[in-house]
């Protein structure tokens, strides 16, 4: 594949706003922002327990007053708020290529489904009466964030959404690279977004995988995930739009279809995704200096991922799960973690070459395959900085991105 240039991303999560803030906090080993919250009950006036969540609690940029109802959702407001960070880069792409040559691909799992909660609340109180609140189907299309951004910025290239659960954000970047390689556009506005939703929070609770404390990936004491919310947006392009030399070097995807809610225990599909990504990037495993793990803190996912990483990379490549800082942002996770890879690679944001320390109780699970979790002393190896980011989803859906510095 032809490597695509990645421009400085926009990002918002419970960890903060802007890539600089995220990298600074991660490298300073600050305490996790995940905390007990009743935001599901507060936002939607529905019964729910207080849970440990990754909440974006800053005032979000207001929509234009003339914005159509179909585009109004908290999910879209998260991307709208984040876009303020990269509107100058997008405008540069529009000026160079024309709006008709810019595509939009956004991954999401929640989309705007929460905006229609009043419809179902009313019916539950008035059985078989659906007249109490309007139902706006377009608000909850999986393409809703992409449709909104295309309309807001007048972009005329291919526009669609991707919803493959927790790989959605990573798959959006893969699809962007494919469009660029096919010559169907010259730049792509891509990324992922998800908001804290009763749909996903209660859904994961029904699977008994929500942790009542902060998640603890790869520990013998790990006991599930914390859900978070956030958004990340990139402008990918075939030509360099800024002085950044960081590229999407390769990607790999697979679907082992082992089980509806868990990956193949031997990591067959995950191993295939890693190997495909390395092959597309034309590098070997020893070239990767850091892996941002999916690392949810569940029993089966961590077991499979440790086995996969050990099989492909051995026991010495530095690895970190950043989810104890952001929560698991589901459809946004793959994009958010790709942005964190970008920030760790960027020598202006990370001149000392540090790597973020794994946030956990340091209690090793001897039943897991050996991997090298980072600590406070971990650093990039000398030379070219190349990172891999892994995402895994329901149905055995696997995605791996490889980002790195371009050749000199």
Structure token pair of residue 276: 């495909």
Strand partners, 103: 188
Cβ neighbors of 311 (< 8 A, separation 6 or more) are 267, 271, 369
What is the residue-wise DSSP string for 161-194? EE--GGGHHHHHHHHHHHHHHHTS-SEEEEEEEE
Return d(Cα 160, Cα 172) in angstroms, integer.
Answer: 9
Structure token pair of residue 225: 């995930």
**pTM of the complete model:** 0.96
pLDDT of residue 262: 74
pLDDT of residue 3: 82
Catalytic hit among 166, 190, 319, 341: 166
- Residue whose C-alpha is closest to residue 145's, from 241, 76, 226, 58: 76
Query: Is 379 among the residues known to form the active site?
Result: no
pLDDT of residue 258: 81
CB-count exposure of residue 101 (10 Å: 0-12, 13-18, 19+): middle
Query: Is 328 among the residues known to form the active site?
Result: yes
**Cβ atoms 55, 226 nearer than 8 A:** no
Catalytic hit among 22, 319, 328, 341: 328
Give the position of tokens 């690392």: 295
Structure token pair of residue 232: 């990340």
* Class of 4-405 in CATH: alpha beta
pLDDT of residue 407: 73
Blockwise average pLDDT, block size 10, the chain, 408 residues: 90 98 95 93 84 96 96 97 98 98 97 92 90 90 97 98 96 98 97 95 91 96 97 96 93 88 86 97 97 96 96 98 97 98 98 98 97 98 97 91 88
pLDDT of residue 403: 98
Query: Is 100 among the residues known to form the active site?
Result: no
Integer-rounded Cα radius of gyration of the chain: 20
pLDDT of residue 395: 79
pLDDT of residue 332: 98
Return d(Cα 236, Cα 119) in angstroms, integer.
Answer: 38
Question: Angle 160-164-166 (CA atoms, 0-180°, nearest 5)?
Answer: 120
pLDDT of residue 243: 87
Return d(Cα 14, Cα 12) in angstroms, integer.
Answer: 7
pLDDT of residue 133: 85
Catalytic hit among 22, 71, 264, 294: 294
pLDDT of residue 132: 85
**Cβ atoms 379, 280 nearer than 8 A:** no
Q: Indicate the domain borders of the chain.
A: 4-405
Backbone angles phi, psi at 193, to 5 degrees: -155, 140
């Amino acid at each position: 594949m032809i490597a695509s240039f990645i421009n400085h991303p926009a990002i918002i999560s419970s960890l903060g706003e802007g890539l600089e803030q995220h990298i600074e906090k991660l490298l300073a080993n600050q305490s996790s922002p995940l905390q007990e919250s009743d935001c599901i009950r507060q936002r939607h006036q529905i019964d729910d327990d207080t849970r440990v969540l990754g909440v974006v609690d800053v005032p979000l940029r207001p929509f234009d007053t003339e914005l159509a109802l179909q585009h109004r959702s908290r999910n879209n407001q998260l991307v709208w708020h984040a876009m303020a960070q990269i509107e100058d880069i997008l405008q540069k792409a529009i000026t160079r290529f024309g709006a008709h040559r810019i595509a939009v691909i956004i991954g999401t799992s929640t989309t705007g489904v929460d905006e229609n909660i009043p419809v179902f609340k009313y019916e539950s109180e008035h059985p078989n009466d659906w007249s109490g609140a309007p139902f706006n189907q377009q608000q909850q299309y999986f393409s809703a964030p992409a449709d909104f951004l295309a309309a807001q910025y007048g972009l005329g290239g291919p526009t669609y959404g991707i919803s493959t659960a927790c790989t959605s954000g990573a798959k959006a970047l893969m699809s962007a690279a494919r469009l660029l390689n096919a010559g169907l556009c010259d730049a792509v506005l891509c990324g992922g977004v998800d908001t804290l939703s009763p749909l996903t929070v209660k859904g994961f609770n029904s699977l008994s995988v929500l942790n009542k404390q902060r998640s603890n990936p790869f520990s013998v004491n790990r006991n599930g995930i914390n859900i978070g919310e956030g958004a990340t947006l990139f402008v990918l392009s075939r030509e360099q739009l800024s002085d950044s030399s960081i590229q999407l070097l390769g990607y790999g995807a697979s679907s082992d279809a082992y089980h509806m809610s868990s990956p193949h225990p031997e990591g067959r599909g995950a191993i295939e995704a890693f190997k495909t990504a390395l092959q597309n990037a034309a590098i070997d495993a020893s070239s990767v200096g850091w892996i941002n793990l999916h690392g949810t803190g569940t029993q089966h996912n961590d077991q499979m991922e440790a086995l996969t990483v050990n099989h492909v990379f051995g026991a010495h490549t530095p690895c970190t799960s950043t989810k104890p800082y952001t929560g698991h942002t589901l459809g946004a996770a793959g994009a958010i973690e790709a942005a964190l890879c970008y920030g760790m690679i960027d020598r202006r944001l990370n001149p000392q070459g540090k790597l973020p320390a794994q946030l956990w109780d340091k209690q090793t699970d001897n039943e897991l395959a050996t991997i090298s979790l980072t600590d406070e002393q971990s650093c990039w190896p000398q030379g070219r900085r190349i990172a891999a980011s892994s995402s895994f989803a329901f149905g055995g859906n696997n995605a791996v991105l490889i980002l790195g510095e371009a050749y000199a």
